[in-house]
Each structure stands twice: as structure tokens, then as C-alpha cells.
Amino acid sequence: MLPRILSSATDAEDEVPRLPWPVATFTLLTMMGALAVALTASDLFTVVTMAAGVLACIAVWQTVRDPLVIVCLTTLVLGAVLGWGLAFYDRIWWYDDLIHFLFSFVGVMGVARVALHRFRAESAALLLGALWLSWLGIGALWEIAEWTSDQLQSTHHSRGYTDTMMDMILNSAGSALGAWLYWARLRTPADRATVTA
């Protein structure tokens, strides 16, 4: 099926909602930066990550069409663009720590908007706990990908046990705060309906 944006339908209900211009500008500039990093990167991990970021931004807007979700995803891509493209990972000693916290804080909100309304639980605490654990799983997969890149390509994305543990601690803290903020301020009526008690 072709994306709706390419269809010739003229009915208002068939039209793809427009991205608010600040979100569209932020996303477009970030995607251009990600493409530039992908084209100039020296390792496959960075190339694949940047290309996947661009494709994910396009796919999310075509399928989910939620500005919060696209801003969350674009923020993740921007952090990687700055880290690899401008060498912030090497030039700013605390950048990796900030990014793990920020990615988890923002990323868990995007996951919440996409998935939370699809589940039911007796309490909000159970839902938020499952959301938090799901993001920790994503963080663990990221650490495995960094380690795998280091083993296969002699890159230095994973900087040892202490770095990995600090990354996971920051992922835990950021996603816990992000899940709480989402439930307290950004949840939708569909999200509220997930609590059955």
C-alpha cells in the first residue's frame, strides 16, 4: 500500500494531517544531519543507526502521525547526529551520560504515546512499571549493539563494564522520570482508560 501522502484522494478525512511547522523544520533539519553523518561515517554501526533514524522518522509520521512521537524520535536522532557528526561523544566527556538520560527520558514518552493505550492494568503503577521495563529492554539491546560493533569492527562505542553500567543506570533514571511525566502531564483519554480498577 502506498503512503497516503502519495494518494490522489481529496476527501478531508483521507488527507494526512500536516506536521506543525516547528516540528517539521526540526525533523527535516535533523534528518539532513543524519544523512550527512551516515554518508561520512567510517563504521557500519553509525551508518546503519543514522539511516535507520531517517527511515524511522519518515515511517512514524506516515503511520502514527503524532507530533509528540515524531519529536521524541527526532530528538533521539539529533543526539546521535551531534554525538557522531560533531564528535560530541569524544569532545565532551559528559555528553554520553547526558544522552543516555535524555534518550530514555524522551524515548519512553514516545513509546508511551504509541503503545500505552493498547494495554490494560489494575493500576497506573503496573502500566508505568511495564513501560519502564520495556525501555530498559530497549536500552539493553542498544548496549548489546554497541558491544557487537566493537567486537566486529574494532570501534569504541562501548567503553567497558563501568561505562555500560552507568549507561543502564542513566537509562533507568531517565525512563522512570519520563514515564512519570508522561502519565502526569501528557497522557491521553485513551491512556486513562487503560486503568481498569
Over residues 54-81, the mean pLDDT reads: 94
Displacement of CA 187 from its chain's centroid (Å): 18
Q: What is the pTM of this model?
A: 0.84
Contact criterion met (CB below 8 Å) for 106 and 69? no
The pLDDT value recorded for residue 148 is 87
Nearest to 190 by CA among 115, 109, 96: 115
Helix (H, G, I), strand (E, B) or coil at 182: helix
Read off the pLDDT of residues 10-38 as tens digits, 9 standing for 90 and up.
444 556 678 899 999 999 999 999 999 99
Read off the pLDDT of residues 90-104 as tens digits, 9 standing for 90 and up.
899 999 999 999 999
* pLDDT classification of 66: cutoffs 50, 70, 90: very high
The pLDDT value recorded for residue 154 is 74
In 34-71, which positions are buried (b, 16+ CB within 10 angstroms) versus exposed (e)? beebbeebebebbbebbbebbebbeebbeeeebbbbbb
Reply yes or no on whether the pLDDT at 115 is more than 90: yes
Read off the pLDDT of residues 152-184 as tens digits, 9 standing for 90 and up.
887 777 777 888 899 999 999 999 999 999 999
The pLDDT value recorded for residue 15 is 65
Question: What are the percentages of helix, strand and coil residues in the chain, rounded to 5?
Answer: 80, 0, 20
